[in-house]
């Protein structure tokens, strides 16, 4: 049975994809406090939801899988949205938050490296 922390991470990722495939399977309605939310939402969670709201579901899905699994490519349009709309701080904060709450913790070093690579690759694509 999933814990509250796991459920929130999945929801945040849905938000990231909207950081709908994971929530659609996981992350789609980016409201800071959905009506079915099981408790109060912290200001940090609201901040992360606002960060995630700057990505559409397809870009969020691709970035999520590129960072957490290393099995996706982030296209130029999504790179532009990540760099221009989300920003480095939000990108890093969403990654760090998910790492503290999920099964990915044991792969944290590789995930942080992939997160930085996705960011750096996207910056290079946007600059070109």
Global pTM reads 0.71
Q: Are 75 and 51 in contact (CB under 8 A)?
A: no
| Cα–Cα distance for residue pair 25/101, rounded to 1 Å | 18
Domain ranges for the chain: 4-127
Q: What is the pLDDT of residues 48-91, one digit of tens each?
A: 999 999 999 999 999 999 999 999 999 999 999 999 999 999 99
Burial class (CB in 10 A: 0-12, 13-18, 19+), 58: middle
């Amino acid at each position: 049975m999933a814990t509250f922390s796991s459920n929130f991470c999945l929801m945040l990722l849905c938000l990231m994809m909207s950081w709908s495939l994971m929530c659609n399977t996981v992350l789609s309605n980016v409201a800071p406090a959905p009506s079915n939310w099981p408790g109060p939402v912290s200001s940090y969670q609201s901040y992360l939801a606002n960060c995630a709201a700057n990505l559409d579901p397809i870009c969020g899905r691709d970035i999520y899988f590129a960072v957490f699994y290393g099995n996706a490519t982030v296209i130029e349009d999504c790179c532009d949205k990540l760099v221009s709309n989300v920003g480095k701080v939000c990108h890093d904060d969403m990654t760090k938050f998910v790492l503290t709450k999920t099964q990915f913790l044991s792969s944290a070093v590789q995930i942080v490296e992939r997160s930085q690579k996705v960011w750096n690759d996207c910056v290079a694509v946007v600059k070109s």
